[in-house]
Chains A and B, each alone.
Chain A
Amino acid sequence: MKKEIPKLEVSNLTMSYGSYVVMKSINFSVKRSEIFLIIGGSGCGKSTLLKCLIGLKECPPNKIFYDGADISKNQEDFCHKFGVLYQSGALWSSMTVAENVALPFSEYTKLSKSDIDSIVEFKLSLVGLDDFGDFYPSQLSGGMKKRAGLARAMALDPDILFLDEPSAGLDPISAAKLDDLILKIRETFGTTIVAITHDLDSIFKIGDRAIYLDGESKSITAEGCPSDLKNDPDQGKVSAFLSRKYTDISMPQKEVKIYKHQGLPPPI
């Protein structure tokens, strides 16, 4: 039987800023229509990895493969296949929400203006912003910006959606709605989704598989289904991360103890 080519494959990738190595020897692959999560502590290199995946940070050749093709060659060809939702939404501030979503269509398709308008309306209604098309990004709340960003990211029905902390800064209800939307997008369009998230509820709700980037060993220390990772006794750090426990791993009581005296001395 022919082996299925992964949608996205990272092979032996090392990321660095100058001489400072952020992560070394990263290997993972993302299957078609999978929701794949990148998790890890703050500053461990998740965003740097995302930048490499979407081509914002240069990588050596033969490290990142999209549908089996090396992404470093003809990077511009891959742009139209990606959708990226940035943490801040990153909407173009000089354009209205509708113009933001419509821009990829006017650039990359030959659709008429009325067709583009109706698709934009559909995309905006999908994220619950159909009444806000004429608003400028500065007139939207954080959650709305994020939803508008998602509408723009999925404008051209991309093969793969990259989400950078989609629920960060959202209230629990909005975050839950966004999670539902992500699941619906996958269900409807079969989109492969790669997301960075710290939100535990989201991790367990949407994640099919996750990798844990460990800042200390600068490598992937765990990979698997989030609930399995949480319950795996061998994955101390990851399990603690997913259970929101930190005292076990980073509160060494011994630090202050210089000399252990037997009991309090008697009062003077």
Chain B
Amino acid sequence: MVTVNIACIEELDLVRVSFVGEWSMKNEVPTATSIIWEIKSKTKKCSSVAFDVSKLKKWDTSFISFTLKFIKFLKGCKFKFDPNCLPVEMLNIINLTNASRDVSSRDIKRKARPAGFWKTLFEKCREGILDFGEDLSFIGELVIESCRTFFGRSKFRFKQFFPIVEEVGIDALPIVLLISFLVGLILAFVSIIQLRKFGAGIYCADLVGIAMMREMACLMTAVIMSGRTGAAFAATIGTMVVNEEIDALQTAGFSRFGFIIIPRLFALVIMMPLLCIFSGVIGICGGMFASGAMLDINISQYLMQTKAAVSLNDVFCGLSKSVVFAILIASIGCLKGIRCGRDAEAVGKVTTSAVVTSITSIIVADAVFALIFNAIGI
């Protein structure tokens, strides 16, 4: 514990503040304000303050903090204070903080004064427009580079391409199959309960078949790929940005599109429709499993019913959507990765952003597809 004694020595025009005991942040310590009030109440004439620390056995950072606050108060109250009566070690460390403040003053100046509402709004709008411009420029470059590669005007990097095909296709297959099987099963289960009431249980095969091939297979695959592949693209490219690998490509004169983005885009565009077909088929199997368990129909009856219900148009709708979803997932993942900041936190942010943006744009694109297919009657 510490006790503080305050004594006025009017002939010396001085208030002496003596500290006795141990000043530790673990104990209760007096506040600078309370001491100042006490000094003010005890004297009207004295204009100088001095510390007596000869009986202060121990002190820690809380004493430094107290002293700094105390000096600030004294300055405000026009008291004079002799810092030489402070422990030498403490003076040294306070000097060090002042020196550090000098060194970092430039940084403080940079951040000085928070901008007003309108300025912030203007800056945000400006940033938004610039970001949008960068997005457009990225999309433009992506389209040009894709066309150049597709028509053989740019070198296609098979060495980068095949590992990505494996990663986005074969490696993703188990999770896509599992989810699709369960989705087919759930669809069948829900529809059987309703259709059975009207003696139309067999029509669950129609419902599952059309829903899977036309809508759910591509949608579920796209959602899985957004979380799995889109996030992986953003994180990988983001980490490459952090590790200066993208800078190294650029300074070596290699196109970041040719090396990083085009192989990923093409790999996903090729593998998504395949995954979508697998997903549709396994979803139908899920429906068949549920029907077998809940209805009195066999496999061949179910398959015949599905075959009669599902048209090529439905398959075409699903596949065309999966290609567009693949383009969206790959380009959003790569764009977010390329625009990653230079720290680990930024990688996390772009990964999250890639997943959220991909899923949102997939849903929006799906809605647009629904309108288009409805308008053209397929």
Chain A positions within 8 Å of B, measured between CB atoms, are 20, 43, 54-56, 76, 79-80, 82, 84, 86-88, 90-94, 103-104, 107-108, 152, 215-216, 250-253, 255-261, 264-265, 267-268
Contact = CB atoms under 8 A, between A and B. Distances in A.
Given A92-B249, A94-B163, A215 B52 contact: no
A86 B248 contact: yes
Interface in B101-141: 102-103, 106-107, 110
B90 to A, nearest CB: 9
Contacts, number: 111
Interface residues of B, number: 46
23 contacts: A20-B110, A56-B250, A84-B247, A84-B252, A86-B244, A90-B245, A90-B248, A94-B160, A107-B252, A250-B99, A250-B102, A251-B95, A251-B96, A252-B98, A256-B94, A261-B48, A261-B50, A261-B85, A265-B9, A265-B14, A265-B50, A268-B7, A268-B9
B270 interface: no
A265 B85 contact: yes
A215 B104 CA distance: 11
A82 B98 contact: no
Interface in B251-294: 251-254
Main SS of chain B's interface residues? helix
A173 to B, nearest CB: 25
Which of A43, A87, A107, A258 lies at the interface centre, i.e. has the most chain B CB atoms within 10 A of its CB? A258
Nearest to A262: B82
Contact of A84 (B80, B81, B251, B254): B251
Given A252-B95, A265-B14, 12 more contacts: A43-B106, A79-B251, A86-B248, A90-B247, A91-B245, A108-B253, A251-B96, A255-B94, A258-B75, A261-B80, A265-B9, A267-B54
B378 interface: no
Contacts of A76: 253
A104 B250 CA distance: 12
B42 to A, nearest CB: 14
B234 interface: no
B297 to A, nearest CB: 51
Given A94-B160, A253-B95, A256-B98, A268 B16 contact: yes
A259 B80 contact: yes
A261 B84 contact: yes
Contacts of B244: 86-88, 90
Interface of B: 5, 7, 9, 12, 14, 16, 18, 48, 50, 52, 54, 71, 74-75, 80-85, 91, 94-96, 98-99, 102-103, 106-107, 110, 160, 163, 239-240, 243-245, 247-254
A108 B155 CA distance: 13
Given A258-B71, A259-B48, A92 B5 contact: no
A152 B245 CA distance: 12
Contacts of B91: 256
Contacts of A54: 251
B326 to A, nearest CB: 21
B377 to A, nearest CB: 47
Interface core residue of B98, B247, B248 (most chain A CB under 10 Å): B248
A93 B243 contact: yes
Nearest to A108: B253
